[in-house]
């Protein structure tokens, strides 16, 4: 068939039918298009067609843009030109090419006018060809041919209509390289449209095979210079499912490269190649950087090939590089100890195999009970399931998978059945399978990892069985029962620790570790975080969940298996920060850990020395302080010196040298350092910084002026560190300068950084950005674009003074402000956080770091507020980290830090502030409710400050009014902060020593007044609590108005009905009423809710609102009581409101599980979350209600009543975990 051969008559008729609707827009237009397509005449019609409004809509091309055709055209509707595409392979290529050009011309007007409101939508904005070299007609043809249409023949995919080889011929006929569709699915620098291109072209019949025949294209994409391009190319490689064996060499190079993310993804593909991967990995193991060679050796080890193991041993004899030898020694040692070894602690070689079929037969009452349960569940097939349940042979397959959540009302009867002593572990597992409480996920993407099981219900039912059977079942017994019930026992680790809730079962260690005692190889893979994982793992469970799970398993062993100790050391010293705490806790149990850690302070690698210092500061073993001081004197690397300094602070030691260093020597050393550092001048990237406007600074010891190069070097060295966290060297240098002068320097650095960060974008840069949109709208100048898009022009005009991209790269300058600690920075930081949290998260995190170094109650209070409750999770978590670091530096708990950092708002100890007008004075003071009241000098109450008289000092009067406004605002904020903390302290029953309580709370001008409106309980020496309340003069009184004297070490708590009893509570309520004292926390005197016995082991308490509450009102009430909308969605898509109690490491969760048709809350449950150490409780797992402090539980139940009206417990379902 020649390209110019005319079409057959049926094809010509179909072409005419396809374009016939164009006659409605212009007489003869359809015939012109038909002549062009079929006879290659009148090519000018393409331009006419592309400019005729809605021509594409008339011929059905709106299916290319279904988002704009809702209600106008079905995207899968079969159209006349679909009949042509069905015959594409048999058509003359020239006719098909011209048809593609005509369809592409029509597609330019396939978006209805006004589809995007004020903006004009153009197909170019949505086209792959706009960003790639693929011609537009090819994209249009492929998109039309590969879309899913109605009436497609059974077994035929849309892409089958257009083979990739046919598109190649058309490209060649049009003068293009036939490789275009293959080259452009991979990205190039400056183009990121390849993902869309790959998704489009991969549906063509034979595309993957044709691409695999062009290895040079794929290899070039995987070996590009730019790391982001390599990463995107690898993602497309995986998306296209190209044969790994063809591309082992470039994949191996990625698997040993410098990018950790690329290494993991590429390594998973390399392992698929098996023995084919060994030659390129050997080559990489013998050349390249030490790091790359180490990665290659580790990957050879993970292949698990005998020849690979032999190669590792042979390399050990010839490798000379110390770092690579260390890797080899670890791998060879680990490989030799992968299987459990007789006599090694933690191994279980002598344990007999578990026979799951012992006792599988049932009789008497047990058989009758099981039969009755099966009859109710399977009325027509219960006899068959009974035979299978009692079968002494393994199941070949289990019950059919169902995605429906099994009804909760079955759990009570099943729980009773599982508590029968005659039932074995095999019966229990098979019954759970039949109830669909335990079933593997059928998807190949999930089956290797996940169980489609409701975690909390599964845990409750397993617990019910374990409590009724002795000895309690463990993982080994479950594994045997799994194997006999068509369940893979390798799913057990995922059942235990593979859910969003984290570790699911809190079972005793003896039930856990024996299962893993002959799986050391698997544990090694998990510790290495082997190259596996999917989107669920990365974004729901977290990037590090596999290693965290392995460490949790090892924690259950009697001792860490010797063969795995080297891996745990590698994590503890140089692994990810999220993994180090768990690894270190394991190693601290080893007798040799302390000695090895002290030796690491002198290691040749700086990062290992820094990690050792950090660990010693957290662990605090004997001899750590002396070893750290000696290491500080010898250390030259600034980052390590900073780590040592922080460790010494945690140990309560000073980071300064023990001897009296001569200030002159230190200054001389700093001058030399500045001369070396500024030898090439100020870095070009800091040319914007106003060095010439920095304030002068003096030396601390003699008051002499600091030379400008030294002053400038302090700023430049901080900038080079690229961290707002001040280094130990910067803090040491700052100590040589006059404190007030350095505070001014820090203030200037802070103000300069802030001004640069918020500087509006330049007109030139804005026009350059707009220029990138010109081709999308078919215009050639920015002016034309703005005329064509008036809404865009107005938006740009409104944003012309908006800040540009920000100044996060220069955040190291903020370290100068952090060391200086200017209190004036607190206000701007608060304003910045509140305004830019959604757009400048990195800058916000840097400013939070600065807050942690400003020495003042206002700064600490703001830091704790952000850590406690801030809308952006990353900023909140950074504040939590910095707050913990600050508390560690001050050697106190976070709660104690909050106590001593309550701002006084400028009030004196008696709660007064003098407002000076010059000749006249006024007094702002706090009343008994800690509210600001105003008086004149005679004590007469005033509603507001008067207008200044002629005799008054106008400047003083204006300042006084400003101070009064600021006072009212600050007192209101402090009052709320204290009330919130008292509420948490009431719920968690936090205690103070009387001395600390008196000093930090009672004597505080604001908090002290609030203390008087609360009833307190004190215990000393284990006796019953003595209740009291403070009076205005600071003395304490009891119920009978008798004075109360307490010892300094007495424990003081907020009183609650559950802690002091009903009689004392009622008497105190009457006492406060008699003295006209309004209780600050009235809930302490209200009715208390006690946990019903059947709910003790349940993880959720169900409630039903007696009157359904509109969701908006519910949310408003919940937020008012401190419950924030949860960032973590429930499995069934419902919502949860979370209230965090940091001091108890708990989070209360109100989950909405029943919304009526009017979107009103009718049913809800109360549960509590707890996370592992270092994790956010808001992402934690549910715990049993009996683990929740009783006052906290009672107060949260009371919150439900306040939020949802008179909520009542919903106790219709009998709990499954009721004790037998």
Higher pLDDT pick, 634 / 131:
634
pLDDT at 128 over 70: no
Answer whether the bond into residue 471 is a cis peptide, omega within 30°.
Answer: yes
CB-count exposure of residue 325 (10 Å: 0-12, 13-18, 19+): middle
pLDDT at position 1108: 83
- How confident is the model at residue 344, as a pLDDT? 41
The confidence band for 992, taking pLDDT boundaries of 50, 70 and 90, is: very high
Fold of the 247-336 domain: 1.25.40
Residue 540 has pLDDT above 50, yes or no: no
CA dihedral of 686, 689, 692, 697, whole degrees rounded to 10: -100
Report the mean per-residue pLDDT for the chain. 83
Of the pLDDT bands very low, low, confident and very high (cuts 50, 70, 90), residue 1179 is low
Q: What percent of the chain lies above the pLDDT cut of 70?
A: 85
Question: What's residue 1178's pLDDT?
Answer: 54
pLDDT digits (tens, 9 = 90+) for 485-517: 988 887 787 766 655 445 566 788 888 888 888
Long-range contacts of 39-47 (CB under 8 A, 24+ apart): 39/6, 40/4, 40/94, 40/98, 45/102, 46/101, 46/102, 46/105, 47/105
Between the CA of residue 806 and those of 758, 760, 810, what are the distances in Å?
A: 6, 9, 10
Residue 476: is its pLDDT beyond 50? yes
CA atoms of 431 and 388, how far apart (whole Å) = 11
Residue 689 CB contacts under 8 Å (≥ 6 apart), including other chains: 682, 715, 752, 756, 810, 813
In 3D space, the residue among 37, 35, 39 whose CA is nearest the CA of residue 81 turns out to be 37
pLDDT above 60: residue 885 = yes
Class of 593-650 in CATH:
mainly alpha
Q: How far apart are CA 974 and CA 905, in angstroms?
A: 8
| pLDDT band at residue 340 under the 50/70/90 scheme | very low
Query: What is the per-residue pLDDT for 984?
Result: 92
- Each residue's pLDDT tens digit, 399-411: 876 666 677 677 8
Lowest mean pLDDT among 233-247, 1050-1064, 1116-1130, 1205-1219: 1205-1219
So what's the pLDDT on residue 1217?
A: 36
pLDDT at 512: 87
What pLDDT band is residue 156 in, cutting at 50, 70 and 90? low
pLDDT for res 541: 52
Q: Which of 212-221, 451-460, 950-959 has the lowest mean pLDDT?
A: 451-460
Residue 140: its pLDDT value, please?
85
Highest mean pLDDT out of 84-88, 226-230, 738-742 = 738-742
Note the pLDDT tens digit of each residue in 348-398.
445 788 889 988 888 889 999 999 999 988 888 888 889 999 999 999 887
Instruction: Name the DSSP letter for residue 537.
Output: I
Q: What's the average model confidence in pLDDT over 252-279?
A: 85
- pLDDT for residue 974 is more than 90: yes
Nearest to 814 by CA among 849, 854, 859, 866: 849
Q: 824-850 burial string, b = 16+ CB within 10 Å, else e?
A: ebbeebbebbeebbeebbebbbbbbbb
- Split at pLDDT 50, 70, 90, the class of 1220 is very low
Higher-pLDDT residue of 1182, 379: 379
Q: Range with the lowest mean pLDDT among 84-88, 525-529, 851-855, 912-916?
A: 525-529
* Top-confidence residue, 139 or 1148: 1148
pLDDT for the residue 79: 77
Q: How confident is the model at residue 861 (pLDDT cuts 50, 70, 90)?
A: very high
Of 863 and 649, more confident = 863
Question: Does 838 score more than 60 pLDDT?
Answer: yes
What's the CA gap between 592 and 1209, in Å, rounded?
55
1218 confidence band (pLDDT: 50, 70, 90): very low
1093-1209: CATH topology is TATA-Binding Protein (3.30.310)
Q: Where are the domains of the chain?
A: 1-145, 247-336, 593-650, 663-761+805-900, 763-798, 912-969, 974-1085, 1093-1209
Give 65-109 pLDDT, tens digit per residue: 766 655 556 666 777 777 888 888 888 899 999 999 999 898 888
Number of neighbouring beta carbons within 10 Å of residue 117: 8
Low-confidence winner among 559-568, 752-761, 1042-1051, 1148-1157 (lowest mean pLDDT): 1148-1157
- Could you tell me the end-to-end alpha-carbon distance of the chain, in angstroms, rounded to an integer? 84
pLDDT for residue 938? 87
Which residue did the predictor score with more confidence, 149 or 722? Answer: 722
Kindly report which listed range (15-19, 488-492, 1024-1028) carries the lowest average pLDDT score: 488-492
Rounded Cα distance between 396 and 479, Å, is: 16
Lowest mean pLDDT segment, chosen from 189-198, 278-287, 661-670, 862-871: 189-198
Q: Name the nearest CA neighbour of 738 among 676, 695, 678.
A: 695
Instruction: Read off the pTM.
Output: 0.70
pLDDT at 772: 65
Tokens of 183: 């080259």
Segment (H or E) for 796: helix 790-798
Read off the pLDDT band of 345 (50, 70, 90): very low
Does the pLDDT value for residue 756 go beyond 60?
Answer: yes
Q: How confident is the model at residue 447 (pLDDT cuts 50, 70, 90)?
A: very low
What is the arithmetic mean of pLDDT over 105-130?
64
pLDDT at 1133: 39
Confidence of residue 676 (pLDDT cuts 50, 70, 90): very high
pLDDT in tens, 607-657: 889 999 999 998 999 999 999 999 998 888 888 888 898 888 888 887 665
Whether 461 and 432 have beta carbons less than 8 Å apart is answered as yes
């Amino acid at each position: 068939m020649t390209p110019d051969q005319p079409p057959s008559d049926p094809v010509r008729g179909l072409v005419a039918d396809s374009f016939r609707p164009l006659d409605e827009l212009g007489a003869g237009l359809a015939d012109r298009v038909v002549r062009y397509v079929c006879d290659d005449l009148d090519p000018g019609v393409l331009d006419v067609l592309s400019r005729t409004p809605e021509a594409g809509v008339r011929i059905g091309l709106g299916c290319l843009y279904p988002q704009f055709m809702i209600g106008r055209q079905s995207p899968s509707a079969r159209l006349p030109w679909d009949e042509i595409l069905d015959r594409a392979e048999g058509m003359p290529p020239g006719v098909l090419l011209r048809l593609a050009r005509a369809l592409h011309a029509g597609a330019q007007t396939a978006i209805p006018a006004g589809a995007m409101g004020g903006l004009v939508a153009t197909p170019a904005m949505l086209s792959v060809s706009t960003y790639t070299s693929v011609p537009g007609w090819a994209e249009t043809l492929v998109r039309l041919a590969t879309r899913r249409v109605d009436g497609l023949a059974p077994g035929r995919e849309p892409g089958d209509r257009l083979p990739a080889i046919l598109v190649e011929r058309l490209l060649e006929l049009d003068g293009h390289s036939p490789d275009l569709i293959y080259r452009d699915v991979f990205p190039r620098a400056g183009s990121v449209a390849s993902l869309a291109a790959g998704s489009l072209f991969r549906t063509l019949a034979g595309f993957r095979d044709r691409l695999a025949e062009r290895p040079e294209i794929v290899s070039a994409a995987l070996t590009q210079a730019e790391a982001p391009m390599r990463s995107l190319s690898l993602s497309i490689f995986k998306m296209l499912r190209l044969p790994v064996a063809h591309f082992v060499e470039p994949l191996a190079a990625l698997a040993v490269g410098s990018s950790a993310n690329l290494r993991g993804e590429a390594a998973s593909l390399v392992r698929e190649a098996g023995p084919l991967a060994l030659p390129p990995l050997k080559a990489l193991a013998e050349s390249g950087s030490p790091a790359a060679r180490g990665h290659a050796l580790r990957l050879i080890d993970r292949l698990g090939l005998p020849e690979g193991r032999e190669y590792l041993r042979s390399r050990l004899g010839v490798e000379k590089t110390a770092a690579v030898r260390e890797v080899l020694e670890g791998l060879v040692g680990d490989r030799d100890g992968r299987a459990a070894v007789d006599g090694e602690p933690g191994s279980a070689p002598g344990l007999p195999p578990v026979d799951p079929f012992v006792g599988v037969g049932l009789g008497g009452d047990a058989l009758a009970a099981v039969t009755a349960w099966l009859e109710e569940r399977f009325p027509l097939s219960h006899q068959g399931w009974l035979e299978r349940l009692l079968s002494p042979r393994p199941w070949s397959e289990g019950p059919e998978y169902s995605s429906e959540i099994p009804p909760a009302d079955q759990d009570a009867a099943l729980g009773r059945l599982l508590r029968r002593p005659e039932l074995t572990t095999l019966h229990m597992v098979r019954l759970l399978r039949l109830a669909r409480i335990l079933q593997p996920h059928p998807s190949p993407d999930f089956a290797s990892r996940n169980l489609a099981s409701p975690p909390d219900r599964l845990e409750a039912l397993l617990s019910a069985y374990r409590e009724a059977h002795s000895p309690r079942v463990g993982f080994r017994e479950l594994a045997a029962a799994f194997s006999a019930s068509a369940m893979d026992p390798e799913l057990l680790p995922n059942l235990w620790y593979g859910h969003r809730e984290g570790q699911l079962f809190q079972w005793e260690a003896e039930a856990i570790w024996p299962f893993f005692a002959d799986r050391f190889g698997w544990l090694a893979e998990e510790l290495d975080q082997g190259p596996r994982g999917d989107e669920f793992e990365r974004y729901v469970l977290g990037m590090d969940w596999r290693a965290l799970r392995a460490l949790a398993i090892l924690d259950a062993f009697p001792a860490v298996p010797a063969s795995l100790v080297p891996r745990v050391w590698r994590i503890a010293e140089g692994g990810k920060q999220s993994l180090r705490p768990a690894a270190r806790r394991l190693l601290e149990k080893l007798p040799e850990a302390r000695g090895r850690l002290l030796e690491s302070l002198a290691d040749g690698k700086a990062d290992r020395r820094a990690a050792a210092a950090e660990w010693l500061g957290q662990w605090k073993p004997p001899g750590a302080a002396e070893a750290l001081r000696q290491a500080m004197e010898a250390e030259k690397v600034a980052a390590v010196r900073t780590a040592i300094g922080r460790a010494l602070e945690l140990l309560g030691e000073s980071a300064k040298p023990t001897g009296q260093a001569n200030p002159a020597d230190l200054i001389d050393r700093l001058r030399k350092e500045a001369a070396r550092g500024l030898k090439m001048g100020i870095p070009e990237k800091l040319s914007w910084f106003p060095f010439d406007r920095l304030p002068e600074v003096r030396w601390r010891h003699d008051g002499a002026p600091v030379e400008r190069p030294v002053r400038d070097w302090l700023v430049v060295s901080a900038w080079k560190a690229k961290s707002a966290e001040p280094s130990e060297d910067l803090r040491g240098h700052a100590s040589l300068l006059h404190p007030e002068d350095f505070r001014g320097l820090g203030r200037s650095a802070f103000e300069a950084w802030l001004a640069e960060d918020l500087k509006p974008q330049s007109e030139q840069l804005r026009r350059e950005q707009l220029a990138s949109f010109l081709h999308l709208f078919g215009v050639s100048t920015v002016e034309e674009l703005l005329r064509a898009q008036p809404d865009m022009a107005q938006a740009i005009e409104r944003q012309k003074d908006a800040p540009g991209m920000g100044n996060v790269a220069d955040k190291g300058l903020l370290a100068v402000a952090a060391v200086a600690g200017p209190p004036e920075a607190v206000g701007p930081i608060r304003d910045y956080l509140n305004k830019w949290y959604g757009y400048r998260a990195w800058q916000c995190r840097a400013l939070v770091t600065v807050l942690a170094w400003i020495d003042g109650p206002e700064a600490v209070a703001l830091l704790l507020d952000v850590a406690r409750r801030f809308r952006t999770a990353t900023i909140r978590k950074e504040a939590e980290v910095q707050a913990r670091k600050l508390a560690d530096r001050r050697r106190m708990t976070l709660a104690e830090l909050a106590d001593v950092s309550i701002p006084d708002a400028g009030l004196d100890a008696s709660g007064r502030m003098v407002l000076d007008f010059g000749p006249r004075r006024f007094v702002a003071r706090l009343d008994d409710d800690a509210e600001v009241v105003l008086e004149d000098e005679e004590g007469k109450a005033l509603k507001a400050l008067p207008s200044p008289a002629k005799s008054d000092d106008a400047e003083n009067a204006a300042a006084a009014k400003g101070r009064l406004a600021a006072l009212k605002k600050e007192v209101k904020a402090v009052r709320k902060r204290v009330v919130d903390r008292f509420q948490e302290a009431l719920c968690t029953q936090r205690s103070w020593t009387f001395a600390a309580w008196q000093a930090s709370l009672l004597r505080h001008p604001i908090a002290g007044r609030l203390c008087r409106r609360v009833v307190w309980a004190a215990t000393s020496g284990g006796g019953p609590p003595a209740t009291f309340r403070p009076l205005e003069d600071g003395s304490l009184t009891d119920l009978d108005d008798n004075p109360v004297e307490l010892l300094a070490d007495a424990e003081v708590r907020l009183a609650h009905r559950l802690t002091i009893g009903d009689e004392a509570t009622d008497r105190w309520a009457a006492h406060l009423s008699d003295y006209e004292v309004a209780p600050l926390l009235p809930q302490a005197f209200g009715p208390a809710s006690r946990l019903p016995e059947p709910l003790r082991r349940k993880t959720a308490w169900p409630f039903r609102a007696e009157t359904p509450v509109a969701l908006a009102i519910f949310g408003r009430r919940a937020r008012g009581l401190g419950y924030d909308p949860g960032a973590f969605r429930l499995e069934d898509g419902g919502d949860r409101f979370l209230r965090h109690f940091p001091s108890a490491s708990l989070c209360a969760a109100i989950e909405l599980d029943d919304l009526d048709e009017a979107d009103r809350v009718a049913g809800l449950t109360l549960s509590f979350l707890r996370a592992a150490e270092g994790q956010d409780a808001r992402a934690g797992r549910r715990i049993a209600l009996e683990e929740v402090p009783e006052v906290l539980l009672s107060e949260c139940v009371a919150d439900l009543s306040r939020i949802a009206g008179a909520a009542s417990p919903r106790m219709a379902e009998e709990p499954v975990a009721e004790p037998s």
